[in-house]
């Protein structure tokens, strides 16, 4: 009889990785960082989980609130604070990518909230059948 793969209940997982770090605020490099997080989110989704990125929540609000540049007062008042609030609703955090003070802060916040922290997709059990 074939073995059933290890599965878990679906988890809501915040993907935390570099956004601005190492980019010099170059829009193409920032976009590549967001793409890496989004690629990871898709893999989590296909494994049956609910992935989220703080950027998905923060960036539209930052634009709507009138931010004029990355790192201005409006940006800083929303970008990391919204991710911290989002983490309170998540089951876990997945830290990806290279050096990032912000992503490391999300790991620290996750731990302070008693959330699980993963550093590799392979650490996260599948939550069911693969999705589109």
* pLDDT tens-digit series, residues 55-93: 999 999 999 999 999 999 999 999 999 999 999 999 999
pLDDT greater than 60 at residue 51: yes
Residue 102 lies in a domain: yes
Give a yes or no: residue 129 inside a domain.
no
pLDDT tens digits for range 5-28: 556 899 999 999 999 999 999 999
Domain count for the chain, please give it: 1
Task: Kindly state whether residue 67 falls inside one of the protein's structural domains.
Answer: yes
Residue 114 inside a domain? The answer is: yes
Whole domain around residue 86: which residue ranges? 15-123
**Is 6 among the domain residues?**
no
Domain membership of residue 32 (yes or no) is yes
Which string of b and e fits 49-85 if b means at least 16 CB within 10 Å?
Answer: bebbbbbbbbbeebeeeebeeeeeebbeebbbebbbe
Residue 128: which pLDDT band, with cuts at 50, 70 and 90? confident
* Tally of CB atoms within 10 A around 19: 24
Residue 3 lies in a domain: no
115 domain-assigned: yes
pTM: 0.90
Give the bridge partners for 110, in sequence order: none
């Amino acid at each position: 009889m074939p073995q059933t793969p290890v599965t878990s209940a679906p988890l809501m997982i915040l993907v935390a990785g570099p956004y601005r770090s190492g980019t010099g605020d170059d829009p193409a490099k920032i976009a590549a960082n967001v793409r890496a997080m989004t690629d990871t989110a898709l893999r989590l989704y296909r494994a049956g989980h609910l992935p989220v990125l703080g950027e998905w929540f923060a960036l539209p609000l930052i634009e709507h609130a009138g931010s004029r540049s990355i790192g201005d007062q409006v940006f800083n008042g929303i970008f990391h604070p919204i991710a911290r609030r989002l983490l309170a609703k998540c089951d876990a955090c997945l830290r990806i990518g290279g050096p990032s003070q912000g992503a490391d802060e999300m790991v620290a916040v996750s731990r302070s909230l008693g959330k699980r922290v993963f550093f590799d997709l392979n650490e996260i059990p599948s939550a069911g059948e693969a999705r589109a």
